[in-house]
Amino acid sequence: MELKDQILEVIGGSHVTAVATLDGKLPAVRFMVLAGFPDMTLVSATLKTSHKVGEMQKTPDVALSTWSGKEFSDPYVEVKAKVKIHEDVATKKKYWNPMWEQFFKTPENTDFVVLVFTAGEITYHAKNMTSTEIWKR
Protein backbone atom coordinates (compact mmCIF):
# COMPACT_ATOMS: atom_id res chain seq x y z
CA MET A 1 0.00 0.00 0.00
CA GLU A 2 1.32 3.47 -0.87
CA LEU A 3 2.17 5.93 1.88
CA LYS A 4 -0.64 8.31 0.92
CA ASP A 5 -3.18 5.47 1.20
CA GLN A 6 -1.81 4.48 4.60
CA ILE A 7 -2.13 8.07 5.79
CA LEU A 8 -5.69 8.31 4.46
CA GLU A 9 -6.62 5.22 6.49
CA VAL A 10 -5.74 7.24 9.59
CA ILE A 11 -7.09 10.70 8.65
CA GLY A 12 -9.93 9.77 6.28
CA GLY A 13 -13.41 10.58 7.55
CA SER A 14 -14.05 12.20 10.92
CA HIS A 15 -11.60 11.72 13.79
CA VAL A 16 -10.71 13.36 17.05
CA THR A 17 -7.45 15.20 16.46
CA ALA A 18 -5.11 17.13 18.72
CA VAL A 19 -4.64 20.60 17.23
CA ALA A 20 -1.69 22.72 18.38
CA THR A 21 -1.51 26.47 17.83
CA LEU A 22 0.67 29.19 19.32
CA ASP A 23 -0.76 31.28 22.13
CA GLY A 24 1.86 33.99 22.14
CA LYS A 25 5.10 32.05 22.52
CA LEU A 26 3.55 28.97 24.13
CA PRO A 27 1.79 26.09 22.40
CA ALA A 28 -1.92 25.55 23.03
CA VAL A 29 -3.39 22.12 22.29
CA ARG A 30 -7.03 21.13 22.10
CA PHE A 31 -9.00 18.22 20.72
CA MET A 32 -11.22 18.86 17.71
CA VAL A 33 -13.15 16.66 15.31
CA LEU A 34 -11.55 16.94 11.87
CA ALA A 35 -12.53 15.25 8.62
CA GLY A 36 -9.69 14.18 6.33
CA PHE A 37 -9.89 14.29 2.53
CA PRO A 38 -7.90 12.58 -0.27
CA ASP A 39 -6.19 15.87 -1.20
CA MET A 40 -4.53 15.78 2.24
CA THR A 41 -6.64 18.56 3.69
CA LEU A 42 -8.50 18.29 6.95
CA VAL A 43 -11.61 20.30 7.78
CA SER A 44 -13.24 21.35 11.02
CA ALA A 45 -15.64 23.97 12.32
CA THR A 46 -15.61 26.29 15.28
CA LEU A 47 -16.82 29.62 16.59
CA LYS A 48 -15.19 32.71 15.09
CA THR A 49 -14.87 34.13 18.61
CA SER A 50 -12.90 31.15 19.98
CA HIS A 51 -9.34 31.59 21.27
CA LYS A 52 -8.01 29.16 18.67
CA VAL A 53 -9.29 31.29 15.78
CA GLY A 54 -7.48 34.32 17.17
CA GLU A 55 -4.31 32.25 17.52
CA MET A 56 -4.67 30.89 13.96
CA GLN A 57 -5.20 34.38 12.57
CA LYS A 58 -1.87 35.46 14.12
CA THR A 59 0.00 32.27 13.20
CA PRO A 60 -1.60 30.00 10.57
CA ASP A 61 1.07 27.30 11.01
CA VAL A 62 -0.38 24.49 13.13
CA ALA A 63 0.50 20.96 14.17
CA LEU A 64 -2.03 18.13 14.25
CA SER A 65 -1.88 14.58 15.52
CA THR A 66 -4.45 11.91 14.72
CA TRP A 67 -4.71 8.34 15.95
CA SER A 68 -7.61 5.95 15.58
CA GLY A 69 -7.97 5.56 19.33
CA LYS A 70 -8.90 1.90 18.88
CA GLU A 71 -5.73 -0.04 19.70
CA PHE A 72 -2.57 1.34 21.29
CA SER A 73 -0.58 -0.28 18.49
CA ASP A 74 -2.53 1.41 15.65
CA PRO A 75 -0.76 3.78 13.26
CA TYR A 76 -0.93 7.51 13.87
CA VAL A 77 0.12 10.65 12.02
CA GLU A 78 1.67 13.99 12.84
CA VAL A 79 0.76 16.80 10.45
CA LYS A 80 2.40 20.15 9.83
CA ALA A 81 -0.21 22.32 8.15
CA LYS A 82 -1.37 25.81 7.32
CA VAL A 83 -4.90 26.71 8.30
CA LYS A 84 -7.28 28.98 6.44
CA ILE A 85 -10.35 30.36 8.20
CA HIS A 86 -13.45 30.54 5.99
CA GLU A 87 -16.36 32.79 6.89
CA ASP A 88 -18.14 32.77 3.52
CA VAL A 89 -21.46 30.95 3.32
CA ALA A 90 -20.52 29.03 0.15
CA THR A 91 -17.58 27.30 1.87
CA LYS A 92 -19.60 26.73 5.03
CA LYS A 93 -22.33 25.03 2.96
CA LYS A 94 -19.76 22.99 1.02
CA TYR A 95 -18.41 21.40 4.20
CA TRP A 96 -21.59 21.52 6.32
CA ASN A 97 -22.05 18.46 8.49
CA PRO A 98 -25.48 17.85 10.07
CA MET A 99 -23.79 17.06 13.41
CA TRP A 100 -22.76 20.74 13.57
CA GLU A 101 -26.40 21.89 13.76
CA GLN A 102 -26.49 21.45 17.54
CA PHE A 103 -23.58 23.91 17.87
CA PHE A 104 -23.99 26.35 14.98
CA LYS A 105 -27.66 25.95 13.94
CA THR A 106 -27.14 26.81 10.23
CA PRO A 107 -24.30 27.55 7.78
CA GLU A 108 -25.51 31.15 7.74
CA ASN A 109 -24.56 31.65 11.41
CA THR A 110 -22.10 34.56 11.33
CA ASP A 111 -20.11 33.21 14.32
CA PHE A 112 -19.60 29.82 12.60
CA VAL A 113 -16.38 29.37 10.59
CA VAL A 114 -14.82 26.49 8.70
CA LEU A 115 -11.15 25.70 9.24
CA VAL A 116 -9.33 24.10 6.31
CA PHE A 117 -5.94 22.64 7.22
CA THR A 118 -3.65 22.03 4.24
CA ALA A 119 -0.95 19.51 5.10
CA GLY A 120 2.56 20.42 4.06
CA GLU A 121 4.18 17.42 5.70
CA ILE A 122 2.75 14.30 7.31
CA THR A 123 4.77 11.88 9.39
CA TYR A 124 3.23 8.41 9.38
CA HIS A 125 4.01 6.12 12.31
CA ALA A 126 3.25 2.52 11.34
CA LYS A 127 1.49 -0.08 13.48
CA ASN A 128 3.46 -0.84 16.65
CA MET A 129 5.71 2.11 15.73
CA THR A 130 7.79 -0.27 13.59
CA SER A 131 8.63 2.42 11.04
CA THR A 132 8.20 6.09 10.22
CA GLU A 133 7.71 7.63 6.78
CA ILE A 134 7.26 11.23 5.72
CA TRP A 135 4.89 12.49 3.02
CA LYS A 136 5.48 16.03 1.69
CA ARG A 137 3.27 18.17 -0.51
The secondary structure of residue 116, as a DSSP letter, is E
Q: What pLDDT is stored for residue 131 in this prediction?
A: 87
Q: Domain 3-136 - what CATH class?
A: mainly beta
Instruction: Please state, rounded to an integer, the average pLDDT across all residues of the chain.
Output: 95
pLDDT tens profile 37-73: 999 999 999 999 999 999 999 999 999 999 977 888 9
pLDDT band at residue 4, thresholds of 50, 70 and 90? very high
pTM, whole model, 2 decimals?
0.94
User: What is the C-alpha separation between 120 and 79, in angstroms, rounded?
Assistant: 8
**Is pLDDT above 90 for 21?**
yes
Are the beta carbons of 49 and 113 closer than 8 angstroms? Answer: no
User: What is the C-alpha separation between 91 and 18, in angstroms, rounded?
Assistant: 23
Q: What pLDDT is stored for residue 1 in this prediction?
A: 78
Give the closest residue to 34 by CA, choosing from 20, 55, 19.
19
Q: What pLDDT is stored for residue 24 in this prediction?
A: 86
pLDDT tens profile 91-136: 999 999 999 999 999 999 999 999 999 999 999 999 888 889 999 9
**Is pLDDT above 90 for 25?**
no
pLDDT tens profile 99-109: 999 999 999 99
> For 3-19, what is the mean pLDDT?
94
